[in-house]
Amino acid sequence: MRSRSVLTGLTMAAALAATLTAAPAQAGPQHQHPGHGHGCPQLSKELPWHADNRAKLQRTIDERGTCSPGWRGGKHRPVAAFDWDNTIVKNDSTDATIAWALRHDKVLRPKSWAATSEWLTPAADRALTEACGTEVPAGEPLPTSTNAACADEILQVRGEAETMSGEKAFAGDWNHRRTVPEYAWVPQLFAGHTVSELRAYARAARDEALAAPVGAEQKVGTHTVPAYSRYYEQQKDLVRTLQKAGFNVYIVSAGSEPVAEEWAKGVNIDRRHTVAIRSVLKHGRITTSMEGCGDVPAGKGEAIPYIDGKRCVINQEIFGIKGAKAWQKQAPSHRIAIGGGDADTDVTFVGDATGTHLVLNRNKPEIMCRGYDDADGRWAVNPMFIEPLPRKSEPYPCATEGFTRPDGTLGPVRRDDGSVIPDQRDTAYGA
């Protein structure tokens, strides 16, 4: 996979001032005052949003985009960044790709399952080896379409971080705000393939999922998993409106980058604006190593776009901030204007946004605590647009265990000033 740790001079210059708030300056040729004239990009009023969320997003579009009194364009374009799975699309595109690959025998047998991840336990190594066998030569496709036990172990390790017998699949030390082994294991599963092959699998999985009816399920091994996906119409409209308003719109995903790139095409976001887990290539083929971020070098997944890792890749890849500083919250002029996500893996970069923090409710504690606390009045919490979750009966445990510390222990969610967020009740939910 290509390295994009250094952007072109033009793109870098554009990013460095991307989120400047409106300031007096000579207006560009597209300038119109917010709310005046038909040239001001507007979110569709035909697509329903919860409460005043559309208005919050429109306010930021008007404040920062082409209709802002201080619009300057060029290298000063604002930035919006969104998670992908369950934020722009319903269901997980990475999981859809894995399911497709297992049904079509596209996972290659590694020489050693233990070597795929530095955190894989001996129990998981044994379970995978026993289920998938050693008859297939290393580097050749495993018959997962007919070997249900092999498919099951792979899905269980990926999805639940455990074996089919319930033993832990991963153990050891890692920074729980920078990586999670079962996420990093996804591109490691595709080691031995070329990037173009993985893109082809992602396209095939996408086409199948989009064609399947809403609610459809499929059997992979003995697992029942979602068989469908949809691009959210509201999110397609949001991305389209942001682009019309002069924003640079990025996808920042904790999935495999070739997969995210293929799916992102569906909302007119190109590869240059898609950032995800980047595998290290050897002789043109994906390896079990992946690129790092900031002061963390390439390795087995110690730093991926996950929680604080998403902040790091945004700072590094979009704003050109290098080294250890990439992990730090930046000044407003070096932060995104709009951030959107659905899970705790997105909470740091969504919180960094200076205009609107968009959250789709999937009952994930830290991001929901921050969203409902709404410390700056710019959080917009929305039920999922398709099959929204019902109301969570118990409050989110914000004051006690809503925050995951780097060592994996839980603690209270705190605001920037150090104060503890009280427990929050669920108020943006489905019927």
Percent of the chain scoring above 90 in pLDDT: 88
Print pLDDT tens along the chain (431 aa): 444 433 333 333 333 334 333 333 323 333 444 444 457 899 999 999 999 999 999 999 999 999 998 888 887 899 999 999 999 999 999 999 999 999 999 999 999 999 999 999 999 999 999 999 999 999 999 999 999 999 999 999 999 999 999 999 999 999 999 999 999 999 999 999 999 999 999 999 999 999 999 999 999 999 999 999 999 999 999 999 999 999 999 999 999 999 999 999 999 999 999 999 999 999 999 999 999 999 999 999 999 999 999 999 999 999 999 999 999 999 999 999 999 999 999 999 999 999 999 999 999 999 999 999 999 999 999 999 999 999 999 999 999 999 999 999 999 999 999 999 999 999 999 97
* Whether residue 143 is found in the same domain as residue 251: no
Which phi and psi (to 5°) does residue 198 adopt?
-65, -40
Domain-terminating residue out of 171, 192, 226: 226
Establish if 411 belongs to a structural domain.
Answer: no
- As beta bridge partners, residue 175 has none
Beta-strand ranges (E) seen in 227-321 are 230-231, 248-256, 274-277, 279-282, 285-290
Q: Identify whether residues 109 and 174 lie together within a single domain.
A: yes
pLDDT digits (tens, 9 = 90+) for 45-82: 999 999 999 999 999 999 999 999 888 888 789 999 99
| Partners of 281 in the β-ladder | 286
> Helix, strand, or coil here: 321?
coil
Contact 341, 83 (CB under 8 A): yes
Domain boundary among 208, 226, 244: 226
Task: Tell me which of 226, 257, 292 is where a domain ends.
Answer: 226
> Parallel, antiparallel, or unpaired: how do β-strands 403-404 and 410-411 relate?
antiparallel
d(CA 96, CA 181): 19
Full-model pTM: 0.90
Residue 401 lies in a domain: no
Sign of CA dihedral 205, 210, 213, 216: positive
Residues 108 and 41 in one domain: no
**Is residue 108 included in any domain, yes or no?**
yes
d(CA 248, CA 259): 21
Q: Are 59 and 103 in the same domain?
A: no
Kindly state whether residue 54 falls inside one of the protein's structural domains. Answer: yes
Number of structural domains in the chain: 2
Q: Is the dihedral of CA 269, 272, 275, 276 positive or negative?
A: positive
Burial string for 159-187 (b: 16+ CB within 10 Å, else e) reads eebbbbeeeebbeeebbbbbbbbbbbbbb
Do 51 and 156 belong to one domain?
no
Residue 300: which CATH number? Answer: 3.40.50.1000
84/98 same-domain check: no
Task: Indicate if 64 and 165 belong to the same structural domain.
Answer: no
Residue 406 near residue 415, CB atoms below 8 Å: no
With respect to residue 172, please indicate whether it lies within any of the assigned structural domains: yes
- 65 and 152 co-located in one domain: no
CA neighbor of 93 nearest in space, from 207, 202, 235: 202
Range of the domain at 378: 9-88+232-387
Residue 68 domain-assigned (yes or no): yes
Amino acid at 147: N
Q: Which two tokens stand for residue 43?
A: 């979110």
Assess whether 113 and 68 both reside in one domain. no
pLDDT digits (tens, 9 = 90+) for 328-376: 999 999 999 999 999 999 999 999 999 999 999 999 999 999 999 999 9
Give the number of residues written for the chain: 431
Q: What is the pLDDT of residues 267-283, one digit of tens each?
A: 999 999 999 999 999 99
Residues 184 and 108 in one domain: yes
Is 409 a domain residue?
no
Assess whether 98 and 162 both reside in one domain: yes
Opening angle at CA 80, ends 341 and 387, nearest 5: 30
Judgement on whether residues 75 and 99 belong to the same structural domain of the protein? no
Q: Report if residue 263 sits inside a domain.
A: yes
